[in-house]
Structures are given as structure tokens and as C-alpha cells.
Structure 1
Amino acid sequence: MRWDNLKIEAAEGARLPGYRDPATVRTFDAPEALQTRFYEIHAKSALNRVPESSRMPFRWTINPYRGCSHACVYCFARPTHKYLDFDAGRDFEREIVVKVNVPEVLRAELKRPSWKGEHIAMGTNTDPYQWVEGRYRLMPGIWEALRDFRNPCSVLTKSPLLLRDLPLLKEIAAVTDIGASLSIPMIDERAWRASEPHTPNPRARLEAVAELNRNGIPTGILVAPLMPGINDDPEQVEEIVQAAIDAGATSIGGIGLHLRGEVRGVFVEWLRSYRPDLVDRYEELYARGAYLPTPERDRIARLLVDAGAPAARPFRRDPADERPFDRAFRRQMGPRARSAPAARHRPDPPSAIQEALF
């Protein structure tokens, strides 16, 4: 990897909890990476098992990075940075862990006789196509391993950088199931730049959806999260849905914002500066927990239905109360994931389950 023209620091010796060997810390002299440190570590495993009790619509994940430079204020993965003795705010965005050996470790794990070829989901927490992937290029090696072992897989991302690997995706599609989804919560430029400051333009993401579908990669969109008063204007939602339909999106799902753990503090602090007029409304909406009240969740779901989203359905409360995040996510993540057992409403998952996603 040719970083010399970008490298301004490489220091050995930083130790992260859970990793035996010290990390090499790098910084890059690039506008997108200023004041950001990248911790190169060697992971013992590439595949992360998601406990059955989590009720996620998949059992295995791969996450080549921890932390995310997209800096989305609502990101539900922020609290996981605590396991590294970092905070869920600025550190999550500026202290990025890079598992430099993931492709090689994955190949060894897929080769094991005990591996049954189960569906593997990527992008379930931090985005595998965030800025640093353009430098480390870990995903091509991951896709090559999945192709060679004909392993069904899916990816969720906010970045058109996924198109760089389109030839590999097509090779995988020729031998097994593969699905993709682009997260596009909004098109409005002001709301986008404020809430997702370092993500690619939403319209570029829509173009990526169209290109992937033109090339035979089933790709949908996830309009998530929908945030009351910020990106839930019916006309804006209709614009996204119509653009997704025009792009050939294979599914269109949407979920309301949920604020678990430290995410609440990060989001509310941002809200006080961006939309102080909404602070009281959000305190009322989330007074009883991390999720929107059922009537508000149903209203948000109907936005997509009214906008013409073919895959959207109102989130109805049944005795078990399906969690809307799981139901929407299941529609996005490929054939194997869509056939998973229905997710059930449970309290916020314990730290062990959240950590397992990494």
C-alpha cells in the first residue's frame, strides 16, 4: 500500500483493550483525515458471531474498521467505542481501528471444516466503505474470499465507493447470493450536511443504487433514520422514494431514530445547536426510552407507504411487538437474511451482544 506521500506519523506502542499486540498509529496528510488517528491492529478473527438472543436477522458479521469518520450524529454504533477506552463522541469519529489482516484471517476461517457457509453481513455497524477504505483497500480481499468460497453475503453502506468493487460483486453474484443496500436518510442538503457531515452526497448514493442494479446486483435503499422535524417532511420522503424507484431499488425500507446509551447525549447536544426549537419535542418523544412511541413509529412508516415505497409496510404492534429496526433491516439484506425468523421486541441489548457485532 502506497501511503508515503500521505503519511505524517507512524508510531508504535499504542495498546487497545482486547488486543494483545500494540497498534501502529498512523495519520494521513489528507483533508478528510486531518486530526484523525488510525490504529493498525492484527485481528485474531474476521468473523463475528451475533448471539441468537440479539434477534438480529443475521448470525455473522465482518467489520474491518471500528469507529467511523462519517461522523453521523445519530449513529447507533457510537457506544461500542467505549470498549476501546474511547468516548462515543469525537473519539468515535477520530480514533479509527483498522484490522489490517482481515482478508487473510477471513480466508482461513472460511476454509475450516466447521464453517457451514452461512450468510455474512457487512456494514452492520461501522461503514466498511468509509474514507479510510480508499487507503487500506481491505474490502477487495474480503470480497475475493467470499467469492472463492461461494459464501452468501450482503453489505450496507453510505458510500458509492462500493462501485469500485463492482467487478468482484458480479463475480460473487455468479456463484452465490449477494445483496446490497445504500443508506439514504435524506436528500435535503442542509439536513444532510448537518447530520452526516463526512458522508458522500445522497444523490451520488442514488446513482450507485442504479448502477449496481443495472449490473445485476440486487440493491435497495434504507431511509434511516427518519428523524421527526428534521427529515420526515412528506415531500422530501416522496422525493427519495421516487428517486429510489427510478434507480431500480429492489427494496425501500425506513425506520425511526432510536437513541440508545451515549448516542442520546451526542444527538441532543447536536440538536441544541442545529435545531434548538426541537429539543423539547425530542425530550418528550424519548422520555420513556430509546425508541419512538408506537404512534410516532407508525406515522413514520406510513410516510414511506404514502410515498409509494413498494416494500414498505406499516409497523403494527402485535403481542410480541416486532422491533422496527430489525424488520426494516431484514428487507434490505439479501435472500438468506429475509428468510430469518421474525425479530422480537426486547430491552436494549446487553453490552456483550453489541460487542459481538464487531
Structure 2
Amino acid sequence: MKQEIKGQGAVTNVHNHFEKNRYEKSIYDDDLEEELVKTQVQTIFPKTIVNKVKSPDLAMAYSMNPYQGCEHGCAYCYARPTHEYWGYSAGVDFERMILAKKNAPELLEQFFKKKGYKPEPIMLSGNTDCYQPVERKLKITRGLLQVCLDYRHPVSILTKNALVTRDIDILAQLAEKNLVTVSFSIPTINEELRRKLEPRTSSAKTKLQALDTISKEGIPTHVMIAPMIPGLNTMEILPITEAIAEKGALGFGYTLVRLNDTVEPVFIDWLEEHYPDRKEKVLNQIASLHGGKLGEKSVAKRKVGEGNMAEMIHNTFKIARQKYFKGKKIQPLATHLFDGTKGEQLRLF
């Protein structure tokens, strides 16, 4: 089994709770596991690409995701349940059935041209990674960045992949006008854990190198040290913050792990596969963060958590901020440069 799921986070395809019927593997399905590990990309053409973010605990006003599903295969990913709306499983399907929004750059232009639109920074990602492996070929994210540059619109990026360095030419031009920030997701610098926890992301070393490269280009960088998973990566808070500070990050954020909806069975199966000896300890400590539950949907509680474990995590990050990030700050992105007609004008030259 371990050989068959190499490069995946999920161990199985958990049942889609929107589906009346469920598929059970039989002893005759010899080719099923082989099929599950192959990534399939389906082109879709949505009507919109920009989403209004309504959660009061999130700093972004808008987000956009060029892909649905994510090849990175992070076992803890909160976006997994969204794949069920498309008729797929939050398990292996989430990692291997990728929906690519090929018309995303055109949709973004249409959004910018809306009468009376007032620009606010847009988060590129937020649900699934805009620089997951398929982006190397499709370049939808690069197209979105070019539209932002043409219209002088602020954009922030969140990714786990060093592929973002490919687009330094556009990012540097955006940074000159204070129109971009790049945030890396680095929940661990323990490479053995990284290979199991988020198997198809860039290695920890490569992420840090990419962070250094982009920072040296004058592009403001930030790191999300998330999620914090007791018993797996909480002991890395100070080593990670020290490492990212040395590579030029101007700030960091973090979240506590939450196993909402179908993320729970995916993560439990993952623990059983990779860390059976500490499975119960990790689950008990996660539950201690959320009043005895593995998940937490309350906007007021999901970032703060509760109990001694949550307090320890918060206090350690306070120490890290004081020790490695004192005086560092990312400036708010510019919105006054936006011109809804500029993109069309540039295309005439």
C-alpha cells in the first residue's frame, strides 16, 4: 500500500457525503489504485474568478483560485471538502482530479472593467495552490499576474511551491509599484515530516531558497507557518521563524489545525498510515485545542483555540515575533494606481 500511495497525502477516497451511493473497492479492482495515483486535469470555464471573502477573521477582501483540487496532497488541507461540490472525494480525488479554470485571466479583466469597481487587494490562492505542479505547463497564474500588472491592481500570493520564482519578472514590476506580496506556506522544515505531510510541495530547503531569492529581488515576503499540529510540528516554531527571518521574510502568520468535515477521516487515515504510534496522542491534543472536538467552525474560536496547548503555541509565537521580527513590517498594498482602462491601452502597443 505504501508504494502505491507514494506522492499522495490521502490514503483513500473518503465518501462524498453529498452522494447517495458510495463506491467500495472489490477484490477484482486490480487497476483501481494505479488509476488513483495518476493526475487528471479537466479544463473548465467558470463564469467568475474573483470571490468576495466574507469571513471577518480574514484580512483579504477578495480571493481567486485558478485551480480546483490540489496536487500538493497536504493531508490537513481545509479545502478538501470543497471538492465534494464537484462530485469528487475529498481524499485522493482532491489531489488527482484537478479542475483548471482556463479562462481565468479573461474573467479577471472583466471583473476589473466593472463600472464603479473600487480596487482592493486580491489573494491569489486562499483555497488551493495557484502554483501547484500543473501550473508549470498551463501558466494560468502567470496570466492572472500579467492582468494585475496591466491594470496596476494589487495582488497577494500564497503558495507552497518554489515555482513562483519563475514569475519574478512580473513580480518585480508589481513590487516596484507596491502592488504585490508573496507569502510562502512553511509548516515544517523537517524534511522527513514534509515528505509525508505535504508530499508534492517543494522541499523545505527549496522553499527557503525561493524565499531568499524573491526577498533579494525587493519583493515583500511573508510566511504562513500553518497549520500548527500538536505532536508533529509545534516544536519547530522557533527554528522556523529564525530560518525565515534569515531569508528575508518581513512577517509571519499561523493557524491551529482544524479537522472540519471530511478533512477528519482523511487526516486520521494519514496518521494511521504514517504515525500509528502517536496517532491517539496527536488526535487528543488537537481535540484539546477545540473543546474536545477535532474541528472548529466558529469564526471567533478557530484562530484562538483554547486550553494549555493553544496558550503554549500563542506564547511561543509571541517570543518568536519579539526575537526575530522586531521592527519588521509589510506595508499595505497600493490601490490608487488602478486604472480600469489601462490594460486595454497597453495591449495597443
TM class by shorter chain equals: 0.7 to 0.9
CA offsets 1:312-335 (integer angstroms, 9 cap, x no match): 89xxxxxxxxxxxxxxxxx99972
Q: Report if the CA contact (8 A) 2:245-2:325 is conserved.
A: no
Segment of structure 1 superposing worse, 298-307 or 160-169: 298-307
Shift of 1:92: 0.4
Amino acid at match of 2:126: T
Q: Report if the CA contact (8 A) 2:250-2:325 is conserved.
A: no
Residues 36 and 84 of structure 1: is their aligned pair in 2 closer, same or farther, counting only changes over 3 Å?
A: same
Look up the SS of the partner of 2:59 in the other structure: coil
State the alpha-carbon separation in 1 of the partners of residues 204 and 72 from structure 2: 13
State the alpha-carbon separation in 1 of the partners of residues 325 and 293 from structure 2: 26
Shift of 1:289: 4.7
Q: Which residue of 1 aligns with 2:51?
A: 48
Q: 1:272 aligned to 2:272?
A: yes
State the alpha-carbon separation in 2 of the partners of residues 80 and 332 from structure 1: 33
Q: Which residue of 2 aligns with 1:156?
A: 158
Q: Report if the CA contact (8 A) 2:215-2:249 is conserved.
A: yes
1:276-287 correspondence runs (5 A): 276-285=276-285, 286=287, 287=292
Q: Which residue of 2 aligns with 1:10?
A: none
1:121-140 correspondence runs (5 A): 121-140=123-142
Instruction: State the structure with more CA Rg.
Output: 2
Shift of 1:129: 0.2
Of 65, 68, 80, 1:66 maps to 68
State the alpha-carbon separation in 1 of the partners of residues 66 and 329 from structure 2: 21
Q: Which residue of 2 aligns with 1:117?
A: 119
Q: Which residue of 2 aligns with 1:344?
A: none
Q: For structure 2, which runs of at least 5 residues remain unmatched after alignment?
A: 1-35, 297-304, 335-349
Amino acid at match of 1:131: P
Q: Which residue of 2 aligns with 1:302?
A: 315
Look up the SS of the partner of 1:255 in the other structure: strand
State the alpha-carbon separation in 1 of the partners of residues 319 and 270 from structure 2: 30
Q: Which residue of 2 aligns with 1:39?
A: 42
Look up the SS of the partner of 1:92 in the other structure: helix
Shift of 1:237: 3.1
Residues 117 and 100 of structure 1: is their aligned pair in 2 closer, same or farther, counting only changes over 3 Å?
A: same
Q: Report if the CA contact (8 A) 1:238-1:308 is conserved.
A: no
Tell me how large the CA RMSD over aligned residues is: 2.4
Amino acid at match of 2:332: P
CA offsets 1:227-264 (integer angstroms, 9 cap, x no match): 1111122xx33322221111111002222211111111
Q: Report if the CA contact (8 A) 1:255-1:300 is conserved.
A: no
Residues 195 and 215 of structure 1: is their aligned pair in 2 closer, same or farther, counting only changes over 3 Å?
A: same
TM-score, scaled to structure 1: 0.74
Q: Which residue of 1 aligns with 2:5?
A: none
State the alpha-carbon separation in 2 of the partners of residues 332 and 160 from structure 1: 23
Q: Report if the CA contact (8 A) 1:254-1:312 is conserved.
A: no
Of 152, 161, 168, 2:170 maps to 168
State the alpha-carbon separation in 1 of the partners of residues 259 and 191 from structure 2: 23
CA offsets 1:44-70 (integer angstroms, 9 cap, x no match): 11211223x554221211100000000
Q: Report if the CA contact (8 A) 1:39-1:97 is conserved.
A: yes
Residues 180 and 262 of structure 1: is their aligned pair in 2 closer, same or farther, counting only changes over 3 Å?
A: same
Q: 1:96 aligned to 2:98?
A: yes
State the alpha-carbon separation in 1 of the partners of residues 157 and 323 from structure 2: 21
Residues 198 and 216 of structure 1: is their aligned pair in 2 closer, same or farther, counting only changes over 3 Å?
A: same
Q: 1:243 aligned to 2:243?
A: yes
State the alpha-carbon separation in 1 of the partners of residues 329 and 44 from structure 2: 31
Segment of structure 1 superposing worse, 270-279 or 71-80: 270-279
Look up the SS of the partner of 1:70 in the other structure: coil
Report sequence identity in percent: 33
How many correspondences in the alignment? 285
State the alpha-carbon separation in 1 of the partners of residues 329 and 268 from structure 2: 28
Amino acid at match of 1:260: N
Look up the SS of the partner of 1:221 in the other structure: strand
